[in-house]
Amino acid sequence: MDTTSVYVVILTIAFPILLHYLLSRATGRDKGNGTQRLPPSPPAVPVLGHLHLVSKSFHRVLARLAARHGPVFSLRLGSRQALVVSSPESARECLTTHDVAFANRPQFASQKPVFFGGAALSTSNYGPYFRNLRRVAAAQLLSSHRVGLMSPVISAEVRAMARRINRAAAAAAAEEGAELGAARVQLKQRLFELSVSVLMETVARTKTTSRAEADMSPEAREWMQIVDEILPFISSANVWDYLPLLWWVDVFGARRKLAAVVRKRDAFLQRLIDAERTRLDADGEKKSMIAVLLTLQQSEPEAYTDTTIMALCDNLFGAGTETTSTTTEWAMTLLLNHPEALKKAKAEIDAVVGTSRLLTADDVPRLAYLHCVINETMRLYPPVPLLLPHESAADCRVGGYDVPAGTMLLVNVYAIHRDPAVWDAPNEFVPERFEDGKAEGKLLMPFGMGRRKCPGETLALRTVGLVLGTLIQCFDWDRVDGVEIDMAEGGGLTIPKAIPLEAVCKPREALREVLREL
């Protein structure tokens, strides 16, 4: 592209943005003459507003702004007005008192292809369609009873993960000529493989009887590749979501790339649906989630189209893979940097379960300290630190400020969980703060709250508890070269570790026979 063409593109983009900015300024002046009391806001850049603040660690930036401007403040992100809340009181006000007003989702042009044009449960606006999908997800796909039926699948996949780690340790032992060897394990990869396998089995039953002993199904591996390609397009730090013209002009080439991966994703999900359609004669409660939805499709074909089923499955995969594996990775990281807590968790498991058998899903509710570790991990590193954004459908008041309809709401769970006015030593890992109900009444909301709360909480906690407990029970863990693990955070929609966790593991002598039988 020559210089003249570049200038034409820049002017084409800049002119409508500048026009929108001037109109917004005029509208703002008109409102200022009335009685509205708008939330405080940091200084803005002409046209772009506060887009220069958007970064991969957006939750940290917003936490610093809250310390300066208060727990309720506003931002102008290009073409969008945003309200940011960073205290338990303001979060409760938005998601309980004004729950219906904030029950919509902002509709980003770049995310419509990813979320099936608004058909996905996570991004559809509040109304009959959303309420029906939410009911189906909560009552038929992710209820406590249904999750209980999934326990054998979860346990089988956890055993497969333990088997893979044990094999790696055995290979290390063979190289060293020792009976029991220690192996360096990339835990992030192992945990993500496990999360994908669990969801793939419960959603679509991809492991047939003939390959039941395989560690991962080919479908699980294919989905992992799709997730890696699609995640960068749903970050909260994508500038094109706030300057839509950049998306349509496709300055960064993102629209073309996204279209390609969405086609691949849709074809993959359609194959899963078609495969389940051929075996709908499965016994009632043993049906996969797709089979349950296909049964509903037979009675209400217009309400449960293949697109709706694909959208629900995509939400289940998206909510249950990256977030579950990341939470477990942070928990192991924190335990390795706090060996006394790791020792305490292991002693509890040995006392409750023993060393003659593997931990089961039925054991997890009895492991009180393990739950304290999980709660403290999600307090420090909530899976989605800003939740998914909400949007106001009506004018309302938050923290004494007027919030116009159409305002995007960002709830900074990361800041709320580290509020020094609520939590003692808020940045320190102290699982004991959750013992004996000591944290009762304090707001812990890693899965959100209100009408938009994640319906997969029960499945996520069941999976994390079983995985983390198994890792602690079966292996002795240590840091590589004894060096403290870097706690730097990555960026994106979730809150991954900047440097994937690598640790040294050795099969426990007391569990040797149990591990041999995996």
Tell me: pLDDT of 31 over 60. Answer: no
Using alpha carbons, select from 91, 118, 121, 120 the residue that is nearest to residue 107. Answer: 118
Of 411, 421, 484, 488, the closest CA to residue 453 belongs to: 411
- Amino acid present at 479: R
| The token pair that represents 43 in the structure block | 């200084």
Please, how many CA atoms are within 13 Å of residue 341, restricted to the half-sphere of its CB?
A: 23
Q: Where are the domains of the chain?
A: 1-32, 133-516
Q: Is the pLDDT assigned to residue 20 strictly greater than 80?
A: no
Residues 495 and 348: their CA atoms lie apart, in Å, by 29
Question: What are the binding residues?
Answer: 454
pLDDT at 18: 53
What pLDDT was estimated at residue 241? Answer: 82
| Domain 133-516 in CATH 1.10.630.10 | yes
Residue type, position 497, single letter: K
| DSSP per-residue codes, 362-419 | TTGGG-HHHHHHHHHHHHHS-SSTT-SPEE-SS-EEETTEEE-TT-EEEE-HHHHHT-
- Average pLDDT value for residue range 453-466: 93
Higher pLDDT, 459 or 20: 459
Q: Are 465 and 364 in contact (CB under 8 A)?
A: yes
Question: How many Å apart are CA 107 and CA 312, to the nearest integer?
Answer: 18
Q: Is the pLDDT score of 33 beyond 50?
A: no
pLDDT exceeds 60 at position 173? yes
Report yes or no on whether pTM surpasses 0.85.
Answer: yes
pLDDT band per the 50, 70, 90 thresholds, residue 363? very high
Q: For residue 192, what are its two tokens? A: 């993500």
* Terminal C-alpha separation, the chain: 60
**Measured distance CA(184)–CA(162) in Å, rounded:** 14
Q: What is the mean pLDDT of the chain?
A: 87
- Per residue, what are the HEC states of 252-298? CCHHHHHHHHHHHHHHHHHHHHHHHHCCCCCCHHHCCHHHHHHHHHH
- Determine the average pLDDT of the residues in 432-446: 94
Reading the block at residue 48, the tokens are 């772009």
Torsion of CA 83, 86, 91, 94, to 10 degrees: -10
**pLDDT value, residue 243:** 83
Per-residue pLDDT, 212: 44
Contact 104, 392 (CB under 8 A): yes
Q: Beta strand pairing status for 183-186 and 502-507?
A: antiparallel
Residue 493 pLDDT greater than 90, yes or no: no
Higher pLDDT, 2 or 447: 447
Q: How far is CA 289 from CA 64, 139, 201, in A?
A: 42, 12, 9
Per residue in 171-190, is it b (16+ CB within 10 Å) or e — as a string?
Answer: ebbeeeeeeebbbebebbeb
Q: Could you report the per-residue pLDDT of 307-323, keeping only the tens digit for each?
A: 999 999 999 988 888 88
Q: Tell which wins on pLDDT, 84 or 215.
A: 84
Q: How far apart are CA 511 and CA 361, in angstroms?
A: 18
CA dihedral 28, 30, 35, 36 (to 10 degrees): -20
Edge-to-edge strands of the sheet including 502-507? 183-186, 502-507, 475-479
Across 69-78, 118-127, 486-495, least confident range: 486-495
Q: Which residues have C-beta within 8 Å of that of residue 85, sequence separation ≥ 6? A: 71, 72, 91, 93, 94, 398, 399, 409, 410, 411, 412
Lowest mean pLDDT of 90-94, 276-280, 302-306, name the range. Answer: 276-280
Mean pLDDT of 415-434: 97
Beta pairing partners, 186: 502
Known binding positions for heme: 454
Cα dihedral 171, 175, 177, 178 sign: negative
Q: Please name the residue that has the structure tokens 């039925």.
A: 362
Residue 194 sits at φ, ψ, to 5 deg, of -65, -45
Residue of 202, 193, 217 lying closest to 152 (CA atoms): 202
Rounded CA separation 433/382 (Å): 17
Query: Residue 237's pLDDT is what?
Result: 62
Q: What is the mean pLDDT of residues 435-457?
A: 93
Q: Cβ of 245: how many Cβ atoms within 10 Å?
A: 18
